Amino acid sequence: MPAFSLDPEQTTWCARLRTLAAEQLRPLADKGEPGRVNRPLVAALGELGLLARLFDSGALDLCLMRESLAQVCTEAETALALQGLGAHPVAAFGTPEQRGRWLPEVVAGRAVAAFALSEPGAGSDAAALALRAVPDPSTGGWRLHGEKRWISNAPEADFTVVFARAGDPDSAGGARGVSAFLVPADRPGLTGESLDMLAPHAIGGLAFDGVPVGPEDLLGEPGQGFRVAMNTLNLFRPSVGAFAVGMAQAALDATLAHTAGRPAFGGVLADLQAVSHQVAEMATRTEAARLLVYAAAEAHDRGDPDVPRRAAMAKLLATETAQYVVDAAVQLHGARALQRGHLLEHLYREVRAPRIYEGATEVQRTIIAKELYRNAATRDGMPHERHSARPHASPASHERHSGAEPRAEVTS
């Protein structure tokens, strides 16, 4: 498929998905409690086959799903995305037993998944993880001690992918030594709380008081937890951009309808050049972000080596663009857009979070710059260190193809 166009089948499928979202998912979302897991909505996503598509299709398909849902029902989009974020490590790195136990339940919408990387003191600098997996000689496993914060679907998820530092509590930090564990919700010592966030997302905190885990709970190899995390984030970053593009398109569509019909100064708002030029800018930025998201997703599906840079660029541009477009839409609608329950009031609260989730804007810029300097050094045949713009305390990196240690990352 050409990099910057969709074929008719894809376009038709996206239109059909928007119709399904309006007719079947929007009513369920309206009945849910903001900030809590909406299990009927998750079950409906399973019944429609959308959760299965998370695991049997590529990054571009994921982007098309997220963008289409976001235009109509952001709650359904977020529920889909959080299921994918939490369950993808199991699909990609789980044992046959782990996949057999949990993936059918996730696909059917009966089990809710969570992805737990962020901590109170380790957000952007996730290499500073403090959650410890302390060896338990009596079982041959570990005991988890510490906290996680700002975790998708916590504390209501049925299982959580948890990233913890194994070994001696006095050992050095960094990405090495971090392992990923699949932790069912009924493990003793695991508690949590919901957090009241600006965006109405199911986000919470988790406390681990000696939670037992064994070798059978490991995802991937011991000490390779960051490989699990980065594999997941590199897939989902372009689709965060798709979520943002969907919200921007919804705001743009609402603005076109409003300015075309709102009487003003003997005509309608759209007759004013200041308004029409603003709308043109909104549309242009939205389309540019959409194309960059699609290109990054296709690069992921092709297995291109520059996926981290492309994914970071897509998330950066799309989320910043969506913030601009929604804000401009509110301005053009006037006070009505500030009223609780208005579409743009909802989007205004929703659109802020993606600039932080799964890698803040500043982290994306750091990743992009590092990749640019690394590629320039390779092209020029010069040592990377002589070209590096790395700050003294780097806030982010990603999984290197060379196998070198990933220093840090931002989580969701």
3-class DSSP state of 213: strand
C-alpha 274 chain-centroid distance: 35
Question: What pairing do the DSSP bridges indicate for beta strands 267-268 and 263-264?
Answer: antiparallel
For residue 105, indicate whether it is catalytic: no
Q: What are residue 98's DSSP bridge partners?
A: none
Contact 399, 234 (CB under 8 A): yes
3-class DSSP state of 394: coil
Residues with Cβ within 8 Å of residue 231, at least 6 apart in sequence: 88, 89, 92, 93, 399
What are the φ/ψ torsions at residue 181 (nearest 5 degrees)? -125, 145
What's the CA gap between 206 and 119, in Å, rounded?
A: 9
Q: What are residue 219's DSSP bridge partners?
A: 180
What's the CA gap between 338 and 327, in Å, rounded?
A: 11
Burial class (CB in 10 A: 0-12, 13-18, 19+), 332: buried
Determine which one of 358, 371, 399, 409 is catalytic: 358
Burial class (CB in 10 A: 0-12, 13-18, 19+), 369: middle
DSSP string spanning 68-115?
A: HHHHH-HHHHHHHHHHHHHHHHHHHH--HHHHHHHHHHHHHTSS-EEE
180: left (phi > 0), else alpha (psi -120 to 50), else beta?
beta
What's the CA gap between 117 and 236, in Å, rounded?
A: 15
Residues annotated as catalytic are 358
